[in-house]
Amino acid sequence: MNAKRPMIAVLTGAGISTDSGIPDYRGPNGLWQRDPEAQRLVTVGPYLADPDVRRRAWTMRAEAGALAAEPNAGHRALVDLERSGLPVRVLTQNVDGLHQRAGQTARKVLELHGTAREVQCVRCKAVGPMAEALERVAAGEPDPDCRACGGVLRPRTVMFGEELDPQVLQQADAVSKACELFIAVGTSLQVFPAAALPFNAVRTGARLIVVNGEPTPFDEAADEVIREPISAALPALVGRLVARYL
């Protein structure tokens, strides 16, 4: 072993999944830039109150095809980092489940904004697969309801207007304060409370590496800033870390 093995926390945002065909939200070509009205479709108040908003939201999900997306080299690099034996925790703002699909150990992934791979009934809280709900949409149900009680179905994601799960946030906060190396990948670091995580890490003495195509508010505090495409930059960074610490 070349050096003390650091505890590594990796915060991932939409940028890590763009090479899998999933658009980001706030970038120059992001979803909110191209269609500002789309944000209303994932805002909890309108979604629950307006059947037309729900119908449009289901159409958007069906057309996006996110469930068919495959992990890319960035996701696989983080799996390689875990399998190297270095202690790693992934804190993700994404809801696409691609870290787990790539092979990341599920218990080592904290999904800060929930998962789009499942739906939940607002009334009875029954949980089911998103794929099944989308099959019903394809079969002609524009706003599929809960088969158990007839209640409104929603994705198991944190919508605009909702708070993050306090238990998940508490776990992420603990990881950020305990790590010795914090890597922020493909995230604007502008959305709180997730953006507080690198601040926690730096404040408690961790090194910070930012891998992002656009400037972030934390670039000046970072020990290293990498601007190259994530699918190329992350495997190279993982290779350097493994060579240094193993």
The residues that are catalytic are 113
**Alpha carbon distances (Å) from 187 to 3, 48, 136, 183, 197:** 29, 28, 33, 10, 12
For residues 225, 201, 185, 85, the Cα torsion angle rounded to the nearest 10 degrees is 110
Phi, psi angles (nearest 5°) of residue 217 = -65, -10
Element (H, E) at 46: helix 44-49
CA angle (6 as vertex; 5, 12 as ends), nearest 5 = 130
Give CA–CA dist 86/80, Å, rounded: 10
Cα distance between residue 231 and residue 198, in whole Å: 22
Helix (H) or strand (E) run with residue 184 in it: strand 181-185
Residue linked to tokens 């507080």:
196
Cα separation of 131 and 176, whole Å? 33
